[in-house]
Structure 1
Amino acid sequence: MNDRADAIDLRRLIYFVAVAEELHFGRAAARLAIAQPPLSRQVAQLEADLGVILIDRSRMQIRLTQAGSVLLERARDVLERLDRAQREIKRIGEGFSGHLRVAFVGSATYGVLPNVIKAFRLAYPEVELALSAMNNAELKRAVIQREIDIAVARPSLDDEELKVEPLHHEPLILALPAALASAQARPIRLADIKSNTFVLYPRKPRPSFADYILKICLDEGFIPKSQVLAQDFQTAISLISVGVGIALVPESVSQSERPGVTYCTYIGSNPGASLSLNYRRDNRMPHLFNFLKIAKKVTSARAGLKA
């Protein structure tokens, strides 16, 4: 075999398969939508490249040589694999396959995000969706360092490398130990319960959602004298359930009942809590934009139901 056989021309391989399957140059040419003379020349050139005779032309009806039969079998496999690879790559390029990494703050597991994830999985079942929980600081580091594709944060992440898309805005409510809630007169004014211990989260790093809540308290004219810092939202709710203190939390949290915890509205400063989708400006992967599209569709439908 000469040096030219080191790489087989793909077009010539396709032409050979057509001739080998039709066992007729005219029918093969018609199948390929080309003229017969260039087809014959390409097959002959393939034989010259390989240094073997692939087609026995000595009879009225052509037939494959032993080498031709082996090449046909191998060529079919190569072309099938190539076609499969092209289809797979195309689906990844269109966002219908591949993987997407999404991380979120703990409180995002209530409300709209689970519906967005469910809708995305339904629309793109072949996309592997990797999910993980992080606090805002971890989210910012991970998305900037390309360890995740989308950070679902509260509040939004502030960095010039990131783009922010609003996902959902909701009011804040009080989370109280059940015993305290039953003894508290209604309506509850935030300033009237300032003597209670405020459970804030996360503990670190700062600034964080904890500082956002402290700013609300300051707007009401006080700073909680007694504060307990929890590492995350789930720990904060657990502390409230055993009577450690109270907390301001997103309204969607109340959709999941927790023994020992009562949720209620309050009177006072309530700028609400916003959930946002944060991603790198230079991330152009179609999976990300498909997720954003699904998120907008779900939140629009949700807003329509509430209207």
Structure 2
Amino acid sequence: MLPVDLRQFECFIAVAEEGNVSRAAARLHMTQPPLTRRIARLERSVGVRLFTRTPSGVELTEAGAVLLDRAHRIMQLTEYAIDRARLADAGQAGSLVVGYFGSPMFDAVPRLLRGFLKTRPTVSLVLERAPKNVQADAIRDGRMHLGFSRQYRSEPGLVVRRVASEPLYLALPEGHPLLKAGKAELADLREQQLVLFPTGPRPSFADEVTQLCAQAGFSAPVVREAGDVLTALGYVASAGFCSVVPRSATRVTLPGVDFVPLSDTPPEGLSCLYRADNVPALVRSFLDHVSTTSSEPETTAESGPRVSI
């Protein structure tokens, strides 16, 4: 079987719809002889006659009618594929694989992604829960496009960009005396039983809380370390401990847990992680979205020592 190109299908569709070679040639802005040759070449490629002559022009054979239906589909699929490729090149289509860990998924991450996807209906989203070290490996290998977490360490070949910040709160068991004041300070932690999170790769949010206590002049009174914020809040609800959490964690509703803002702590940053080179178009498009919608100043870091943000 000889190869068939899209131009042959375009010519075939025009002749079939016009029922006349001369009119089809005029429609295609070409002369009749080359159009006739293209149709003859298509018939040789397919191996069957596609048209029969009539006094007024041509009409489809049964085989030609079957091919016409498929030819329309092929042309439509081709146009769709080209359109999707152009959208993908512009960061408007494709599949965006996003890794996340911890409380950012309770607020900032879905808000950022929802705003990005709202004007890009052809982009599909894949979410994967993954610790920071797993995110870094997956992004470097091209299996993931973006990661979201806190306290990223600088990684060779990857960029850390701060995309949001939020105040810190103190999670307390229901009825705790500190709840009456409606706010708390770091010094109030001295006499508490503190749960830190998360365990795992350092630096982490747990290190940030420990440093804040040290800057306030005391050692963090740690009684437990939890793998994630939900487990930490479980200790607050069940054992009466307390935990320092970002504001996004206050969206979690557990019986017996209340929150008060910590009035003397700096806001905690949320960052995204992505490749430093060969940045996919979808990632570039997302970063442009962050630049235009976030009030957070653009802060990035690449390789080198630990970056605390």
TM normalised by structure 2 equals: 0.79
| C-alpha contact 2:21 2:57 (8 A) present in aligned 1 | no
RMSD: 3.2
After superposing the two structures, state which structure 1 stretch, 56-65 or 239-248, moved more: 56-65
| C-alpha contact 2:145 2:274 (8 A) present in aligned 1 | yes
CA positional deviation for 1:11: 1.6
Superposed counterparts of 1:74-93, under 5 Å: 74-93=70-89
After superposing the two structures, state which structure 1 stretch, 55-64 or 220-229, moved more: 55-64
1:279 matched to 2:265? The reply is no
More helix by share: 1
One-letter amino acid of the structure 2 residue matched with residue 274 of structure 1: G
After superposing the two structures, state which structure 1 stretch, 80-89 or 28-37, moved more: 80-89
CA positional deviation for 1:151: 0.7
After superposing the two structures, state which structure 1 stretch, 113-122 or 53-62, moved more: 53-62
| 1:259 aligned partner | 255
Aligned residues: 296
| 1:166 aligned partner | 162
CA positional deviation for 1:200: 0.7
| 1:218 aligned partner | 214
Where 2:294 maps in the other structure, the secondary structure is helix
| 1:148 aligned partner | 144
| C-alpha contact 1:195 1:224 (8 A) present in aligned 2 | no
Q: 1:198 aligns with which of 188, 191, 194?
A: 194
Where 2:17 maps in the other structure, the secondary structure is helix
CA positional deviation for 1:163: 2.0
After superposing the two structures, state which structure 1 stretch, 277-286 or 147-156, moved more: 277-286
One-letter amino acid of the structure 2 residue matched with residue 273 of structure 1: E
Larger radius of gyration: 1
CA positional deviation for 1:241: 2.2
| 2:99 aligned partner | 103
| C-alpha contact 2:250 2:259 (8 A) present in aligned 1 | yes
| 1:248 aligned partner | 244
CA positional deviation for 1:233: 0.8
One-letter amino acid of the structure 2 residue matched with residue 248 of structure 1: V
Where 2:23 maps in the other structure, the secondary structure is helix
| 2:299 aligned partner | none
| 1:137 aligned partner | 133
Q: 2:285 aligns with which of 277, 290, 299?
A: 290
Offset from partner CA, 1:12-49 (integer Å, 9 cap, x none): 23212212321222211111122233223333343455
CA positional deviation for 1:109: 2.8
Mark the runs of 5 or more structure 1 residues left unpaired by the alignment: 302-307
One-letter amino acid of the structure 1 residue matched with residue 269 of structure 2: S
Mark the runs of 5 or more structure 2 residues left unpaired by the alignment: 297-309
How far, CA to CA, are the matches of 2:61 and 2:183 in structure 1?
Answer: 93
| C-alpha contact 1:155 1:273 (8 A) present in aligned 2 | no
After superposing the two structures, state which structure 1 stretch, 156-165 or 87-96, moved more: 87-96
1:40 matched to 2:36? The reply is yes
Alpha-carbon spacing, 1:233–1:24, altered in 2? closer, same or farther (3 Å): same
| 1:227 aligned partner | 223
Q: 2:171 aligns with which of 175, 200, 224?
A: 175
| 1:304 aligned partner | none
How far, CA to CA, are the matches of 1:183 and 1:58 in structure 2?
Answer: 92
One-letter amino acid of the structure 1 residue matched with residue 217 of structure 2: G
After superposing the two structures, state which structure 1 stretch, 184-193 or 229-238, moved more: 184-193
Where 1:27 maps in the other structure, the secondary structure is helix
Q: 1:120 aligns with which of 116, 119, 122?
A: 116
| C-alpha contact 2:182 2:260 (8 A) present in aligned 1 | no
Offset from partner CA, 1:170-209 (integer Å, 9 cap, x none): 2323223334334887874423532422211112233322
Superposed counterparts of 1:51-66, under 5 Å: 53-57=49-53, 59=55, 61-65=57-61
